[in-house]
Structure formats: structure tokens, C-alpha cells
Amino acid sequence: MMSRRSTAKWARLWFPLATVLAVSLAVPSAHALVSGVRDGACANGEGYWDYYGGTLTGDPQNPFAPFRVVIPKPGAKGGWNGRLLAYARGTGSTIKVGQDGKPLAVDGTPLVDPTTQSPLLGFTPLSNGLPEITGAGLVLSGNAEALEEQLVCERKYAAVASDYKPDVDFLANGKLGWAVEDGVRDIGLAILQARRLLLTKQGHWPQRTILMARSQGSLIALRYAEERSPLIDGVVSVCTVGAGASRSWDSAVDVALAIDVAFGGAGGTGGWPWGDPDGNLGKVKPGVVFATDVVATVEAWFPPNDPQTGGESFARLEFVRLVTGLPLEGFYPFPVPNPATGGMAPGYPDFNWLASALLFSTEVKADIEGRAGGAVGQNKDHAYHLTKEQRRYLKQIGLPSEVIDNWLLAMNARRNVEGSEAGRTYTARYRDPTFAASALPHPILSVHTTTDGLVLPSQETELRDTLEDKKGVGVVHQKQLLRQTFVDSNGHCTLTEAEVAVAIAAMEKRLNDGYWPGAGFFPNNPASKLRFRNGFNPGQYPQPGKHKSQP
């Protein structure tokens, strides 16, 4: 008979193994929802299988999780390398799945061949498909087939992704939303589907799974890392929301308050028309759509007969930008003078940090408040101020000192916005990383652009401090759990395919060797489309935090 001590020992050994087996072998009826497979062709003459379909979620509001699985075929360069790359994407999508499991376009019409739609089902390009703001204007990222060519065709990875947005509201009007809850569920189901297909086609499960994430998807990936999911081995996160959902939505309150004060009447109110009810900054009016409800207001700030950089709206918006910590380059729809360089800071009419801040402070915030069942975001622990240099600059562009003082006083007098209990609970769950569990997390490589007006680079400081606070000074670095690196770019998640490949290779090296590669692994060589910037200091995230590194 086995002793009690032996029984306990076997229980400790069996539990993680049982967890892995249960996760790997769970077979819901989602098998029937594989809509199809096509043969993909690589530039090198080899090929891959391209599966697409939907996985049952069990959620009556969002019954299907669209997925895509890409598996390399055997060829001259060899077959599958035994690795799986899972992709936790950000907000937005172009393809959905209907109740029969068949892919649909945004307008709800069936797609005859969904794999020809761009972005492809479940994927945007690894460069994110978002534009980068440069001195020459806007530069769009390139190859929509980058995933297949770089990773599947050349390096022989299998890959899987899910879309997160199979909801009726998105199908009806294309609205964007906060899909972290959907994403946590759906990427897990998509990974299970990929494992089953790999077992069928290749005869074994992946030996290693790397979860790559961007933007909103970084919160999904951090949760998998924090909870040491048996589905993954490491996380590569791009433009990481390191401060967590709660503090990020606090920043949306700051944007709303600053606009309300700067564009309001004599009492410093009335400039933010999207509250619920109007004037209440704590909650967005339900059903707000950026394209129809917000854009007209922005256009009115810059009428055709008003000089773009000399009008009243520009000075007001500069106050908003500075008090909320947003970058100048790319903030406006047009180039503006840059006092730091004496030149012009680039802008672009269709993609700018002002529009992205308003989009997330209205339409996306309304979505998360609907999911949460209450207001999200607060400013009770915030303190609004400007530096002497910032005040001097605002005076130079036409704001009198007394106006600046009155606006700051008005903002600090209104530090009374408080999210609802339901909202606080929801954002904490989807997602505020705490790393409070006894087990150390999976290794995390976080890559951020040096200028990002949507997810500030200083969120990386918050991520580092959260890990350090919970695990003790230095233990994160001693255990080689977190590596943070930056790319010299003005954009949100605007990495080149070459930079993504370096990030994945760095994670492979960490998993193989037990330590991260040095700074030389992350070169700055623009000719090779590598723009890593070692030693970059992202600074502190705006508004008070609770970390020891803050003054």
C-alpha cells in the first residue's frame, strides 16, 4: 500500500500533468466549426495549410470565436519546427463568424473565400497594419503576408489567432470595443484548436508555444503569463498596457476633464459633450460612435478659415495635451511647430494621437462600461500640474498665465470622479496584472515604441514596478523573468517584420538558455529595418501611482 507521504508526492506530480492533459484533450463540439482549409503558397515555393473557422464559446452573447491556424507543409527547408506562435491581437477586426460557423464580412454578408480578405481571418499583419508617423507624413506598414513569409514559410512555425469580436453590435455598425474578456476565452480556445489540428496533421502537439500580443492583447497575454497557463511557455508583448486596465481608463477621465475645462464656459464646464448625462465625466453616453458623434466636434475645432496653428483651438488643445502627458509629434491632423527642435512636428488627418485619445475616451470606453455594468475610471488620486517650461510655452502660443492657472485650479477642484463598483471590479479582472500569486510568471519580453500616444511608453515603468513590488527588489531581473526593449518609432505597435522576428528569437533564446540575450541582440540598423534603442528611459506614467520608484 502506498504511504501517505508517497500519495502526497504523486499528487503533486500528477496535478500539473493532469492539468496539461485536461487542457490538451478537452474536445468540445467546436470540431464541426472548422469552416475550411486552403493551400497557401510561399514565395520560396513551399506551402502551408491554412485553416479557418469558429470555436463554440458557450457565451450566448458571443457564441463563436473566429480562429485561423496556419501549419507549414514539409519542403526543402524541412517541415514544422515544433513551435506554435499564438497571436493575441488588439482592438478591431474585419471578419466575423455567423451562427453556422461560416465567416462573415463586417456587414454580415458571407465571405466566399475569407482568406482573401485583408486583414486575413484572425490576423492583422505582425507589423499591426497601423501607420507610423514620420517627418515625411504617414507611412503604412507593408506586407499583409508577413506572418506566413517570415515565420511559417522561412522559420517553419505553426501559428494561430482568434478575433475576439463576434458580437452583434460590431456586425451591425463596426464599432470597436474592449474585448479583453472575449480575448482571454477565445485565444485559449483557438490554441486548443491548433493543438488538435497539429496532432492530426503532424502527429504531435507543439513542443513550445509562444504567445505574442499587441496593445489590448497584451493584457490577455499578461494574464496567461501571470497565471502560468500550461498552454504557453513565454510571452512577447508589443506596446504593452503595463499600467493595467484600471489606470489606463483613469487616463481617459483626465482627457475628458481637460477638454471639458479648456473648451467649457466661464465655470470650466460644458466642453465635453459625451458624458452621461452631459457634463458627467464619470460615464460615457451609451451608444456613442466616434465616426458619427465625435468627428464633427473635432472638425469644428479647426474650421477652414482658422489658421491651423494660430487659432484658439490649438492653444486649448495644447493645454489638454500637456496636462495629460501626450506626445506632440503626430498629435494633430496637420504639422505644427515643435518648440524643442525649431522644426515642424508631423501630423496626419486620418491617424493622429488626438483622434485615438478621443476614440478610446468615447466609443471604446462606452463599450467597456456596457460590459462592466457601470462607469470605469477615476481621478480621485490625481494631481494636475504643468512644468515651468510647459507654462512658458503655452504663454508663447497665446494662453495668459491667469487662464492657465484657472484651468489647473478647475481641474484639481474636480478630482471627484469615481468609477462604479461594477466598473472597478471589471477592469481589475480584465485586466490589472498584480503578479501576487506565489508562483513566478512565465518569461515576458515587452517591446514598445519610443513614442506612442495611445499606450504611453511609460506604461513599461509601471509593468516593471508591479513585478518588482510583488516579488521583491531585483528578483525579476535575477530570475530573468522580464526583459523590456524599445524601438525608435512614432506609432502604436509599429514594429517592422524584422523587429518582430528578433523579438521572437530573443524569447526562444531565453527559453533555451534561461537568460535573456544582451543589448547587442537588439541592434539599431535602419538598413535592416531594425531600430532598437537600448537604454531608453520611458519615464514615469502620468498621475500618481502606488509604486516605490515614484517620487
Residues 295, 320, single domain; the answer is yes
Bridge partner residues of 311 (DSSP):
none
Bridge partner residues of 172 (DSSP):
none
Residues 386, 261, single domain; the answer is yes
For residue 153, tell me if it sits in a domain.
Answer: no
548 φ/ψ angles, rounded to the nearest 5 degrees: -65, -25
For residue 319, tell me if it sits in a domain.
Answer: yes
CA distance 464 to 549: 10
Choose one of 403, 423, 443: the last residue of a domain.
Answer: 423
C-alpha cell at 450: 519610443
Q: How does strand 482-490 pair with strand 444-451? A: parallel
User: In 482-532, where do the E strands start and end?
Assistant: 482-490, 524-525, 530-531
Residues 269, 348, single domain; the answer is yes
Residues 195, 230, single domain; the answer is no
Residues 450, 366, single domain; the answer is no
Residues 311, 362, single domain; the answer is yes
Task: Find cell 478647475 and name the residue.
Answer: 410
Which residues neighbour 74 within 8 Å (Cβ) at sequence distance 6 or greater? none
* pLDDT for the residue 139: 74
Choose one of 367, 392, 423: the last residue of a domain.
Answer: 423
Residues 321, 185, single domain; the answer is no
For residue 12, tell me if it sits in a domain.
Answer: no
Tell me if 463 sits within 8 A of 433, measured CB to CB. Answer: yes
Residues 393, 298, single domain; the answer is yes
C-alpha cell at 79: 517541415
Tell me if 72 sits within 8 A of 147, measured CB to CB. Answer: no
For residue 457, tell me if it sits in a domain.
Answer: yes
For residue 477, tell me if it sits in a domain.
Answer: yes
For residue 26, tell me if it sits in a domain.
Answer: no
Show pLDDT as tens, one digit a residue, over the chain (551 residues).
434 343 333 333 333 333 333 333 333 443 335 567 888 888 889 999 988 777 777 777 666 677 888 999 998 888 999 999 999 988 755 455 565 656 666 556 776 665 555 434 444 444 455 677 777 777 766 555 667 788 899 999 999 988 775 444 554 555 678 889 888 988 998 899 899 999 999 999 999 999 999 999 999 999 999 999 999 999 999 999 999 999 999 999 999 999 999 999 877 788 999 998 777 888 999 888 888 899 899 888 887 766 566 678 999 999 999 999 999 999 998 888 998 888 888 888 877 999 999 999 999 999 899 989 999 999 999 999 999 999 999 999 999 999 999 999 999 999 999 999 999 999 999 999 988 877 888 999 999 999 999 999 999 999 998 887 665 545 665 578 999 999 999 999 888 888 999 999 999 999 999 999 999 999 999 899 999 999 999 999 998 754 333 33
pTM score, two decimals? 0.87
Residues 214, 274, single domain; the answer is no
Report the SS3 class of residue 450.
strand
Residues 378, 452, single domain; the answer is no
Tell me if 352 sits within 8 A of 331, measured CB to CB. Answer: yes
* pLDDT for the residue 54: 73
How many CB atoms within 10 Å of residue 291? 12
CA distance 108 to 95: 9
User: Which burial class, exposed, middle or buried, applies to 264 when counting CB atoms under 10 A from its CB (0-12, 13-18, 19+)?
Assistant: middle
Residues 309, 380, single domain; the answer is yes
Structural domain of residue 197, as residue ranges?
A: 31-131+158-204
For residue 479, tell me if it sits in a domain.
Answer: yes
Q: How many domains does the chain have?
A: 3
Tell me if 360 sits within 8 A of 454, measured CB to CB. Answer: yes
* pLDDT for the residue 28: 41
* pLDDT for the residue 306: 64
Tell me if 231 sits within 8 A of 188, measured CB to CB. Answer: yes
Residues 308, 272, single domain; the answer is yes
Task: Find cell 522644426 and name the residue.
Answer: 343
For residue 308, tell me if it sits in a domain.
Answer: yes
* pLDDT for the residue 112: 66
Domain CATH for 484: 3.40.50.1820
Choose one of 204, 234, 268: the last residue of a domain.
Answer: 204
